[in-house]
A = this chain, B = another copy of it.
Amino acid sequence: MEKNRLEAFSDGVLAIIITIMVLELKVPHSVENPHLAGLADLKDLLPVFFSYVLSFIYVGIYWNNHHHMFHSTRYVTGGILWATLHLLFWLSLFPFTTAWVGANHLAPTPVAVYGCVLLMAAIAYFILQHAIIRQQGPNSLLARAIGADWKGKLSPLCYLAAIPLAFHSVWISDGLFVFVAILWLVPDRRIERLLAKREKP
Contacts and interface: CB of A to CB of B under 8 A. Distances in A.
Nearest to A186: B78
Given A19-B16, A92-B56, A27 B103 contact: yes
Stoichiometry, as copies per complex, reads 4
Nearest to A14: B9
B16 A15 contact: yes
A43 to B, nearest CB: 11
A104 B37 CA distance: 7
A197 interface: no
A103 B38 contact: no
A89 interface: yes
A53 B93 CA distance: 11
B19 A17 contact: yes
A107 to B, nearest CB: 4
A100 B28 contact: yes
A121 interface: no
Interface stretch (A60-68, A132-140, A143-151, A171-179): A60-68
